Amino acid sequence: MCGIVGYVGPQPALEVVVDGLARLEYRGYDSAGVAVLDGGTLQTEKRAGKLANLRRALEASPPAADGIGIGHTRWATHGAPNDVNAHPHVDGERRVAVIHNGIIENFAALRVELEERGCKFTSETDTEVAAHLLSTELKDRGDGDLAAAMRAVCRRLEGAFTLVAMYAGDPDLIVAARRNSPLVVGRGDGENFLASDVAAFIAHTRDAVELGQDQVVELRAGDVRVTDYDGAPAPVREYHVDWDASAAEKGGYEYFMLKEIVEQPRALADTLLGRVAADGTLTLDEMRLDGAELREIHKIVIIACGTSYHAGMIAKYAIEHWCRIPCEVEVASEFRYRDPILDRQTLVIAISQSGESMDTLMAVRYAREQRARVLAICNVNGSTIPRESDAVLYTHAGPEVGVAATKTFLTQLAACYLVGLYLAQVRGHKYGDEINAVIGQLAHMPEQVEKVLGTVDPVRALARSLAGADTVLFLGRHVGFPVAMEGALKLKELAYMHAEAFAAGELKHGPIALIEDGLPVVVVVPSREGRGVLHDKIVSNIQEIRARGARTVVIAEEGDEAVRPFADELVEIPAVPTLLQPIVSTVPLQVFACELALAKGNDVDQPRNLAKSVTVE
């Protein structure tokens, strides 16, 4: 989860590194720290809390810095979030500095070994083990080769990690290694960068280099060298980032989340752009599975976590309806532990905003071991999950800095719909005109979201009125159920309050006991035309909870007069096809959660205990 930055070049390193950390603070804000070299002397500064605390410390006592430095924002795993446990960590002689993302699973045994050799530890972290290991390896080798020492250390480590190190004995070099944790190189003109996300260096260069699994990179101002853990040259893929620094700025909004909610129409349009060939057929350029392979598929399993899991639940409805293929949706963190039945005729669809979610990555690897075909839906070019999958569909949402997913969720939905339609086309379950009709409906969704965004002021007022509530419940049917789950998740993430979603049909099987006078209940109502039976049933559910004192907040299509008498608060959304309704019904729930959290005084970009990318299991 942590944010990592490294720089070698002619610019003041401290300024470049701290600016990069500011762009990565969404990855962890329990503490922050930097290490620079000053005439060959290692200087470090680190502070618990948000990056602002580190900035104040640096302003009070700015270290002189050569053109080399590393920095870190932490999401705590081992050890409390305090100054001592903050990164960077150094060896006893302060000649080696290390920053780290991930978990070193065998750190306890290694620590005992190092203590027996006389190493003194000052922190509770697993990271400090790596610093002492590097130092002892350099002493044992006697050649000052930091890269060789890093390779030797990595061969001893177990777990998922990115390690970045500086060494006072080689003041022009940064060495980094990765295993199951993100790391990317930025190539500049006479300068080079390292980061856990391209956002850290996008203001300086848009030319990036993917680092593969179990690789070590040596970074100098004029050179980038990549090897495997045995020292052999390793292949890399270079790519150009298709967005610039302005896309990662707030653009006049107080919070990134507010900006990213407003960006959703454009993000949707970009995800849908260029998907139809000149002959009218749907074409997915990133799909590396051919038609023959897709026609062999007899089962689909969708794996994802959090918001992406909700996108997968909605995808199940669309894929089974359009393709008539059995489709399961699994929480990725549980998937490989229940011994699932997979084979070559199984298509696993892995949905991950970052492409680095460790639970989903491990599930992908398990699926590949079982010979299943894997298709990734992801927003980040060059990330690990797409690289390790058989095919990928990028969502093109642009950078999303707010921890709570908004535009990445809507674009994941769009990508899932595209995959479902493509499978229906390849497998012959739908005629071309039927597919084109749905594509045409999808093409209108950006303007429908724009319409919703223009009518959410009453939702904001409602949210402020409920800032003192202890609990909000959510109900939904069909595709409205995962939308209700997403609404509840957003409220938990941002407002730190109890929120729970139920399938409305389950109401009388227990949850109705929770209803009491004044309890807010948000109900996502299905289309009256598209799902008339379910519509009528949910109207009955609304009547049942209202009769028991609930304050009903109803999200329904424009012109749905059947629900109006039973809605204490009515939020109208455009009438769209049933399977596509989540794209418009989710938006008011995003605004609701954001505004309620702001009314409570919370930071909606950096909710407590959370970070954007979960890179540990």
Burial category of 465 from C-beta neighbours within 10 Å (exposed 0-12, middle 13-18, buried 19 and up): middle
State the Cα–Cα distance between residues 455 and 585, nearest whole angstrom. 12
Intra-chain end-to-end CA distance of the chain, in Å: 11
* Residue 116 Cα to chain centre, angstroms: 40
Catalytic residue (one of 259, 316, 407, 612): 612
Q: What type of residue sits at position 63?
A: P
Q: What is the 3-state secondary structure (H, E, C) of 61-111?
A: CCCCCCCEEEEEEECCCCCCCCCCCCCCEECCCCCEEEEEEEEECCHHHHH
Q: Are 527 and 535 in contact (CB under 8 A)?
A: yes
Residues whose CB is less than 8 angstroms from the CB of residue 107 and which lie 6 or more positions away in sequence, other chains included? 78, 126, 129
Cβ-proximal residues to 179 (8 Å cutoff; 6+ apart), any chain: 102, 154, 157, 159, 160, 161, 162, 213, 214
Secondary-structure percent of the chain, ordered helix, strand, coil, rounded to 5: 40, 25, 35
Q: Is 46 helix (H, G, I), strand (E, B) or coil?
A: strand
Residue 612 bears catalytic tag = yes
Residue among 2, 305, 327, 416 flagged as catalytic: 2
β-pairing, 237-240 with 207-210?
Answer: antiparallel
Tokens describing residue 223: 């050179």
Q: Amino acid identity, residue 333?
A: S
Residues with a catalytic annotation lie at: 2, 612
